[in-house]
């Protein structure tokens, strides 16, 4: 089962905790997509499977360790996910 967590706020610790807990269960693939101001946040712990929206990173003039994805890739992530959680 593929789960995609979409985080939009910088300091949404509950969203990070929920995604991390779910990733710890190893019941499938869990990905995190950073949008809007969430691209300003440093991802806690294991950053594997964390992606950031290229346009949001560019608009805020920041750098991130997360791989950058464009809108086509984001749509593909949404369509391939069995479950999508928006925070």
Upper half-sphere CA count for residue 29 (Cβ side, 13 Å) = 10
Which DSSP string do the residues of 1-56 spell out, in sequence order?
-EEEEEE-STT-HHHHHHHHHHHHTTSSEEEEEE-GGGGGSPPPS--TTEEEEHHH
pLDDT given at position 45: 53
Global confidence as pTM: 0.90
Other C-beta atoms closer than 10 Å to the C-beta of 13 total 10
Which DSSP string do the residues of 50-76 spell out, in sequence order?
EEEEHHHHHHHT---SSPEE-HHHHHH
pLDDT given at position 41: 84
What stretches in the chain show pLDDT beneath 50? none
What percentage of residues in the chain have a pLDDT greater than 70?
94
Of 72, 70, 80, 71, nearest to 31 (Cα)? 80
């Amino acid at each position: 089962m593929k789960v995609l967590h979409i985080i939009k706020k910088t300091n949404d610790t509950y969203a990070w905790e929920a995604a991390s807990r779910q990733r710890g269960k190893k019941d499938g693939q869990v990905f995190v997509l950073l949008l809007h101001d969430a691209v300003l946040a440093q991802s806690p712990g294991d950053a594997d499977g964390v992606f950031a929206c290229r346009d949001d990173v560019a608009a805020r003039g920041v750098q991130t360790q997360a791989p950058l994805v464009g809108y086509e890739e984001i749509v593909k992530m949404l369509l391939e996910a069995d479950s999508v959680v928006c925070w």
